[in-house]
């Protein structure tokens, strides 16, 4: 029996087709319909124009697209035009603004997706305005982001050689206050304990210290069996190297190196989204992958007890929000504003090269590939994290197989933090 479901409010929509046999989901077809042809639009444009066009792939992770896009240009320039390095200041500012975007994203996912949908699945009536919490964090953390990047969404402040901004300490201190406001919210509302106290937890057995919304969501998920469902391939992949991620791949918790040259993209019948594999295998990208590959003790402990279940996946994303807040605050504490913001001449000619850029977006590794010929973009390819997770047969589909209810399955699907617009682009 085929059951169709229109999934909404996932940065656009998706249509899921559940194939039930004897009351059990045997297969799920995932369809995305909103194709906009960004890669085609980029052809024949000036190389740097990608910094303005690619953020428009996605309203919620636009900044990650900017960072991947500038990375692709810099990789190409470094390999074929001129050797250069960006300053520690420029790198730190980029990592800070990217961290802010991830925090914005994760908190929206927690309060706009997870809480309301879990309540719906479990038939819990509540009149709490979770959206207000999401708005507060998103509003505050993007203020800190905009201090350096000018605006969110859709900044283009990262350019080959660094960043366009040259902040004074007035701006740095202002940004720090915003981050401290978000940390205070996180401690009072999400964790119920101090941030550093939470980040010091290494084992599942110590999670009983948690109070607040995080404790509540873990309790609801645990009590309703989500520690046993939603398991997927148990294979993880990360390409971004930053203060909050290290590159590598993992099978269960065994970590090894990963090389972008083994990433393949291929068409899928009946969907505008392309699938992605690494050496012919599906991998999962995102906060859980980052936690596993970086061997975060508490993520390993969760994984040991609950495998790659829905509970572990949700835990990893909220845990990462806490870590990102800590990292963002540390970056501002040590920011060397006296260094140059941009080390590359803005008039340097971009005539002919190929470059690959990577950023860890909220949902996982984002890859941009640019090919420049005669001073114009000849070809541009974007591989989004959701392509790793949401292709037919990939991590999210696998996590839904074996479940007995399309409503539970849809919730499991949403815990991957689905982004429809990125998947098709």
Partner 1 sequence: MARKPKLLWIQSLTCNGNSHSFFNHSNLFSILSHFELIYFPLIETKYSLEDVLRKKVHSDILIIEGAIKEDLTKGGVNIKELIHHYAKESRYIITAGTCATFGGIFKQSEPEKISGFAFDKENEKEDILSLYEHRLISLPGCPIHPKWLSYVLLMIINRRRIPLDEKNRPQELYGFTVHTGCVRNEYFEWKIDTHGFGHKEGCSFYENGCQGPFTHGSCNKILWNDTSSKTVVGTPCFGCTEPDFPKERLFSTKTNMGIPQKMPLGIPKRAYLTVTGIAKSFKIKRLEKKVIDYEK
For partner 1, the binding residue among 122, 135, 207, 215 (CB under 8 A) is: 135
Tokens, residue 100: 């802010």
Site string for partner 1, 337-376 (x = CB under 8 A): xx-xxx--xxx-----------------------------
The alpha-carbon radius of gyration of the chain (Å, integer) is 21
Q: Is 168 in the site for partner 1 (CB under 8 A)?
A: yes
Q: Which is nearer to partner 1, 108 or 323 (CB)?
A: 108
DSSP reduced 3-state for 381 = strand
For partner 1, the binding residue among 25, 147, 195, 318 (CB under 8 A) is: 147
Q: How far is the CB of 90 from partner 1 (least distance, A)?
A: 8
DSSP string covering 222-260: HHTTTTTS-----EEEE---BTTB--EEEETTEEE---G
Q: Which is nearer to partner 1, 115 or 236 (CB)?
A: 115
Q: Which is nearer to partner 1, 12 or 357 (CB)?
A: 12
Q: Is 126 in the site for partner 1 (CB under 8 A)?
A: no
Q: Is 162 in the site for partner 1 (CB under 8 A)?
A: yes
Q: Is 122 in the site for partner 1 (CB under 8 A)?
A: no
Q: How far is the CB of 287 from partner 1 (least distance, A)?
A: 20
Q: How far is the CB of 160 from partner 1 (least distance, A)?
A: 9
Q: Is 246 in the site for partner 1 (CB under 8 A)?
A: no
For partner 1, the binding residue among 73, 98, 103, 156 (CB under 8 A) is: 156
DSSP reduced 3-state for 394 = coil
Q: Is 174 in the site for partner 1 (CB under 8 A)?
A: yes
Tokens, residue 85: 């390095």
Burial label for 267, CB within 10 Å (0-12, 13-18, 19+), is: exposed
Q: How far is the CB of 269 from partner 1 (least distance, A)?
A: 19
Q: Is 70 in the site for partner 1 (CB under 8 A)?
A: no
Burial label for 331, CB within 10 Å (0-12, 13-18, 19+), is: buried
Q: How far is the CB of 148 from partner 1 (least distance, A)?
A: 7
Query: How far from 71 is each of 41, 56, 226, 366, CA to CA, in Å?
Result: 20, 17, 38, 11
For partner 1, the binding residue among 16, 25, 30, 60 (CB under 8 A) is: 60
The stretch near partner 1 (CB under 8 A) out of 77-85, 246-254, 334-342, 388-396 is: 334-342
Q: How far is the CB of 156 from partner 1 (least distance, A)?
A: 6
How large is the greatest C-alpha to C-alpha distance in the chain, in angstroms? Answer: 67
Q: Is 15 in the site for partner 1 (CB under 8 A)?
A: yes
Burial label for 27, CB within 10 Å (0-12, 13-18, 19+), is: middle
Q: Which is nearer to partner 1, 300 or 363 (CB)?
A: 363
Q: How far is the CB of 132 from partner 1 (least distance, A)?
A: 6
CA distance 398 to 421: 21
CA distance 236 to 253: 9
For partner 1, the binding residue among 24, 26, 40, 223 (CB under 8 A) is: 40
| CA-closest candidate to residue 59, choices 148, 154, 130, 172 | 154
Q: Is 234 in the site for partner 1 (CB under 8 A)?
A: no
Q: Using CB under 8 A, count the residues that bind partner 1.
A: 72
Q: Is 379 in the site for partner 1 (CB under 8 A)?
A: no
Q: Which is nearer to partner 1, 55 or 240 (CB)?
A: 55
Q: How far is the CB of 91 from partner 1 (least distance, A)?
A: 13
Burial label for 100, CB within 10 Å (0-12, 13-18, 19+), is: buried
| CA-closest candidate to residue 106, choices 320, 384, 396 | 320
Q: Is 17 in the site for partner 1 (CB under 8 A)?
A: no
Report the alpha-carbon angle 136-141-147, nearest 5.
130
């Amino acid at each position: 029996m085929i059951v169709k479901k229109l999934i909404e409010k996932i940065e656009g929509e998706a249509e899921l087709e559940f194939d039930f046999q004897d009351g059990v989901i045997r297969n799920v077809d995932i369809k995305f319909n909103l194709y906009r042809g960004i890669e085609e639009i980029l052809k024949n444009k000036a190389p740097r124009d990608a910094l303005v066009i690619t953020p428009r792939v996605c309203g919620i992770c636009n900044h990650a697209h900017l960072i991947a896009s500038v990375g692709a240009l810099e990789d190409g320039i470094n390999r074929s035009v001129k050797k250069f390095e960006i300053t520690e200041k420029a790198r730190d500012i980029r990592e800070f603004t990217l961290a802010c975007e991830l925090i914005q994203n994760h908190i929206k996912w927690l309060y706009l997706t997870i809480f309301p949908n879990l309540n719906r699945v479990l038939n819990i009536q509540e009149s709490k305005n979770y959206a207000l919490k999401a708005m507060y964090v998103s509003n505050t953390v993007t203020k800190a982001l905009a201090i350096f990047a000018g605006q969110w969404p859709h900044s283009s402040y990262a350019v080959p050689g660094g960043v366009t901004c040259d902040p004074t300490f007035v701006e740095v201190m202002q940004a720090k206050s915003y981050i401290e406001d978000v940390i205070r919210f996180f401690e009072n509302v999400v964790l119920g304990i101090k941030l550093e106290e939470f980040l010091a937890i290494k084992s599942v057995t110590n999670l009983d210290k948690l109070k607040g919304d995080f404790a509540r969501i873990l309790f609801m998920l645990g009590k309703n069996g989500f520690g046993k469902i939603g398991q997927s391939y148990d294979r993880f992949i990360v390409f971004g190297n930053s203060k909050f991620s290290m590159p590598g791949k993992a099978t269960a918790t065994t970590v090894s190196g990963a090389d972008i040259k083994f990433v393949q993209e291929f068409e899928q019948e009946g969907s505008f989204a392309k699938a992605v594999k690494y050496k012919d295998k599906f991998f999962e990208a995102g906060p859980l992958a980052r936690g596993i590959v970086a061997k975060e003790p508490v993520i390993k402990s969760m994984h040991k007890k609950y495998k790659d279940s829905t509970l572990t996946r949700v835990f990893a994303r909220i845990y990462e929000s806490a870590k990102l807040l800590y990292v963002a605050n540390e970056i501002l504490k040590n920011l060397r504003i006296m260094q140059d913001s941009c080390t590359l001449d803005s008039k340097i000619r971009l005539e002919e090269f190929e470059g690959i850029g990577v950023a860890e977006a909220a949902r996982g590794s984002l890859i941009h590939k640019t090919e420049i010929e005669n001073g114009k973009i000849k070809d541009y390819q974007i591989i989004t994290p959701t392509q790793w997770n949401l292709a037919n047969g990939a991590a999210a589909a696998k996590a839904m197989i074996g479940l007995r209810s399309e409503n539970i399955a849809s919730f499991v699907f949403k815990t991957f933090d689905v982004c429809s617009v990125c998947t098709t682009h």
